Amino acid sequence: MTPGVEDSRTNRSSIVNSTVQLPPYPYGDASWSEVVRCVRNMFEPFDVEITDVDPGSTPHFEAMVAGSPQDAGFANDVGGVAPATCGVIGNAINFTFAEVWGDDPQRICEVIAQETGHTFGMDHEYLCADPMTYLTGCGAKTFQDVDAQCGEYEPRACKCGGATQNSVQRLLYVFGAGEPTPPTVEIVEPADGATVRPGFTVSVDASDNHEVTEVSLVVGGQPSGTLTTRPYVFNTPDGLADGPVTIEARAVDNRGDAAVARITVVLDSSCRGDSDCGPGQMCDGGACVDRPPGEGELGDPCEGNADCRSGMCARSGDEQRCTAACDPTVADACPAGFDCLSAGTGGACWPAGGDGTGGGCAVRSGGTSAPATWALIAAVGALAVRRRRR
């Protein structure tokens, strides 16, 4: 950087008194990316492009972000500096001395905004929420559409004319309005056109160059919830009719910009087999129906022996399920998904994951067939039960 008439294209600055070479940004790539993101967000409402790639000979305003004030010949209490004439200074260069602020991307971003604002003809504002202020302690700053008093630590007359300053209106005057950037939103699951079962869930992905504040879902015309944090996974409402169902996800960012994604799925509540139905049910002609008495399969809930095909209804703790006799000394004595609970000389098949420790396993009395089996399972109920894994 050399002294001279302002010209960012040739690295000349009117506010340095000698040749200046600043060191690299000291806080690493991740921190720098946050600074750039913040500056882009700050200026997004205006028709201006933010880049961290040198535009070369293309006319541009330039913010130098690095080093300390001493590196550029300024006093050590200067955190940022810019030329100022109360008008737009073409191809101006301003400085933000990163080493003064530490690894604080938000604060560095706000200083960049203030120093750059000076080159667009803006004064300091006595308004804490605006980056043109010296005031602190009110959270992240953005340009405010407010007719604010000028001043640093107390109000004063504005140096550039007028009783107040409005940073948003000034930037709109200089650059015009930018195009809003809405969030991106995608329904990840289910896929468009997929066939789904009742009770399906919907997974949504949403992102934004600012911040996604909420994602909401509408399924078949019914509001199905709003989430403000990831993961955006929604349950769907009961009572949806079979056939095409439209799913709509809507994401909104912190500037109020919104985007919508839509898909259509096909809801099919018909069953294809007993596994599609709940406990104690069976698939009959595409519909899940309660099993008739005596039709209970192994592991189905039961109230008595007559409810089970095996004629055996056993209890473990508070559960009663259809079971069958097994030999705990034989590997794979029960079908897949069942363990053989043993006691004494016999055993009973019980769903894997139910450890049978809630009071033992006992058969319901009243059966008339398979007397040897009844004795076997009655013995299981009389003793503490241990598990044998398949």
- Domain of 82: which CATH number? 3.40.390
Residue linked to tokens 């059966």 = 367
Spatial separation of the C-alpha atoms in residues 329 and 349, rounded to whole Å: 13
Name the DSSP class of 89.
Answer: -
Residues 32 and 108 in one domain: yes
CB 253 within 8 A of CB 237: no
Query: Looking at the domain assignment, is residue 148 inside a domain?
Result: yes
Q: Is residue 293 part of a domain?
A: yes
Asked if the structure places residue 94 within a domain, the reply is yes
292 in any annotated domain: yes
- Clarify whether residues 66 and 29 are in a common domain: yes
**197 & 167 share domain:** no
Say yes or no: 28 and 167 in one domain. Answer: yes
Q: What 3-state DSSP class applies to 215?
A: strand
Domain residues for the domain of 235 are 184-267
The helix-helix angle for 28-43 and 105-119 (nearest 10°) equals: 50
Q: Which residues of 152-169 are buried (b: 16+ CB within 10 A; e: fewer)?
A: eeeeeebeeeeeebbbbe
User: 66 lies in a domain?
Assistant: yes
Kindly state whether residues 157 and 73 are assigned to the same domain. Answer: yes
Whether 274 is covered by a domain: the verdict is: no
Angle at Cα 17 formed by Cα 15 and Cα 22, nearest 5°?
A: 80
Query: Are 63 and 162 members of one domain?
Result: yes
- Convert 57-77 to b/e letters by CB count within 10 Å (16 or more is b): eeebbbbbbbbbbeebebeee
Q: Tokens 């055993």 sit at which residue? A: 347
Q: Is 168 helix (H, G, I), strand (E, B) or coil?
A: helix
Position 63 in a domain: yes
pLDDT cut 70: percent of the chain above it: 89
Q: How far apart are the first and last CA of the chain?
A: 77
The count of domains in the chain is 3
**Are 110 and 228 in a shared domain?**
no
**pLDDT band for position 354 (cuts 50, 70, 90):** low
pLDDT for residue 287: 84
Calculate the alpha carbon distances from 245 to 48, 205, 219, 250, 262 in Å: 42, 20, 7, 16, 11
pTM across the whole model: 0.55
Are 284 and 327 contained in the same domain?
A: yes
* CATH code, domain with 252: 2.60.40.10
Token pair of 380, please?
A: 């299981």
Residue 90 has pLDDT above 70, yes or no: yes
- What pLDDT is attached to residue 304? 84
Residue 310 lies in a domain: yes
What pLDDT, on a 0 to 100 scale, did the predictor assign at position 181?
83
Q: Among 268, 303, 267, which Cα is nearest to 288's?
A: 268
- Torsion angle of the four alpha carbons 233, 237, 241, 247, in this order, in degrees rounded to the nearest 10: -40
Residue scoring higher pLDDT (115 or 301): 115
Average pLDDT over residues 246-270: 94
The average confidence (pLDDT) of the chain is 88
Answer yes or no: do 71 and 162 share one domain.
Answer: yes
Whole-angstrom Cα distance, residue 319 to residue 310? 17
Same domain, 73 and 152: yes
More confident residue, 73 or 309: 73
Residue with structure tokens 């949504």?
204
Contact 267, 285 (CB under 8 A): no
Q: What is the pLDDT of residues 8-18, one digit of tens each?
A: 999 999 999 99
Query: Looking at residue 297, what DSSP letter applies?
Result: P
CA distances from 6 to 46, 59, 94, 197 (A): 23, 11, 10, 67
pLDDT score of 283 more than 60: yes
